[in-house]
Amino acid sequence: MYKVMTPGPTQVPKEVLAARSLVCTNPDIDETFCEFYKETCEKISSLLHTKNETLILGGEGILGLEAASASLTEPGDRVLVLDNGIYGRGFADFVQMYGGIPELYSDDDLSALDISKLDAYLKEHHDYKYASVVHCDTPSGVLNDISKICPLLKKYGILTVVDSVSAMFGEPVDVDAYQIDLLCGGSQKAVSAPPGLTFVTISEDAKEAMKARKTPVASFYANLLTFEGYYEKKWFPYTMPISDIYGLRAAFDLIENDVTHLERHAKIGAATRKAITSCGLKLHLKNGYSNTVTVFDVPPQTTADDILRLMREDHNILIAGSFDTLAGKVIRIGHMGANANKADMVETLHALYQVLCKLGVPVTCDPAEVFLAEL
């Protein structure tokens, strides 16, 4: 069994695994499950500091992103896609899929989105139905300041769609204060439940835009409007994955009871970055470092495949490379959710040191020792 230190999926706590083993009822007709589902959705909204409705959808995090696009986009709609990473520009595919016209606003992939530059752009270009922004673009680890980006977009009357799958509960998210219209999360990142669920939090402005459509949503499974009135009718548009939702509830109970979870992520993230740079490795980004994942460039003396292989074979630890334009160029260590703890990070960083030494990479110290000194 591998120790999973990837930037999602993460390790899953025993409490979550136990909850997933509870006896199943029939979620289609058992009204106690409908109550449980609604209570769980309300807990998620509360943890995200909003009274906006949250819906849990039966599908991996990408379903939430597609559902946002499917439910908001009509043919011919202009959509602003904020792009400083692979996932950021990837949202354009969803927009095109549902007949919208994506317009990319591209910034440096090695840095967080520059707010002043974006503001200058919006003064001249703001005729958009909605804009998409990735909170943490996981392939590079870049973190965008949604606390400033979303209010800026709303100032121009642009609805905001935020992909925070890899950041929420490892980084601050305040839906109401940040003026987020549609927030997308996933079970397998800092929430630390198994993959298979996404959840979306929807503002009244977003609901009004969906209901004011002139054309029907070109999907059933990705149509958020199908959930309208589910609680009053005690009816779901499809059979809900009850065991997954039991586990998700347990994961959110753990988050609710861990009042230091954001502080813990911040300390672990800062200590990991210091450890990586102190031993001679180069962080991939210039700025905009997320506290959920650390990304460093592959040293010229070796390859990403060799690092990942030896971490698996010699130490039974899974860390990650990346993909698309970053394939083979970077290594990613996930320290989100259950992964963000001292013992597992020390073991991972010490193993990385041994692997790099074995591969002939000139490292100046054991990063695990620096990490411990920084905490």
Q: Which of 351, 275, 345, 280 is CA-nearest to residue 311?
A: 351
pLDDT of residue 274: 98
Could you give the C-alpha distances from 135 to 113, 256, 272, in angstroms and in order? 10, 21, 20
pLDDT of residue 131: 98
Specify the pairing of strand 198-202 against strand 317-318. unpaired
Q: How many beta carbons lie within 10 A of that of residue 328, not counting itself?
A: 11
Return phi, psi of residue 333, to 5°. Answer: -115, 125
Last residue of a domain, one of 233, 257, 281: 257
User: Taking the CA atoms of the chain, what radius of gyration do you get in angstroms?
Assistant: 21
Residues 112 and 250 in one domain: yes
Residues 271 and 325 in one domain: yes
What DSSP state is assigned to residue 298? P
Q: Cα(43)–Cα(249) distance, rounded to whole angstroms?
A: 9
143 within domain boundaries: yes
Q: How many beta carbons lie within 10 A of that of residue 320, not counting itself?
A: 22
Cis ω on the peptide bond leading into residue 9 (within 30° of 0)? yes
Could you give the C-alpha distances from 312 to 272, 287, 320, 333, in angstroms and in order? 20, 30, 11, 13
User: Which of 37-66 are b and which e, b meaning 16 or more Cβ less than 10 Å from the residue's Cβ?
Assistant: beebbebbbebbebebbbbbbbbbbbbbbb
Transcribe 262-290 into DSSP letters: HHHHHHHHHHHHHHHHHTT--BS-SS-B-
pLDDT of residue 194: 98
Last residue of a domain, one of 242, 257, 272: 257
pTM above 0.85, yes or no: yes
Residues 292 and 233 in one domain: no
Is residue 92 within a helix (H) or strand (E), and if so which, with residue range? helix 86-97
Is residue 176 within a helix (H) or strand (E), and if so which, with residue range? helix 175-178
Residues 289 and 348 in one domain: yes
pLDDT of residue 9: 97
342 within domain boundaries: yes
Residues 176 and 289 in one domain: no
pLDDT of residue 254: 98
Q: Residue 359 in 3-state DSSP? A: coil
Q: Cα(160)–Cα(158) distance, rounded to whole angstroms?
A: 6
pLDDT of residue 289: 98
CA quadruple 108, 67, 125, 175: dihedral sign: negative
Say which CATH number the domain at 306 has. 3.90.1150.10
| Segments forming the whole domain that contains residue 275 | 261-374
Residues of the chain falling short of pLDDT 70: none
Residues 149 and 296 in one domain: no
Last residue of a domain, one of 214, 238, 257: 257
Q: Which of 37, 58, 67 is CA-nearest to residue 183?
A: 67
Residues 135 and 221 in one domain: yes
Residues 133 and 193 in one domain: yes
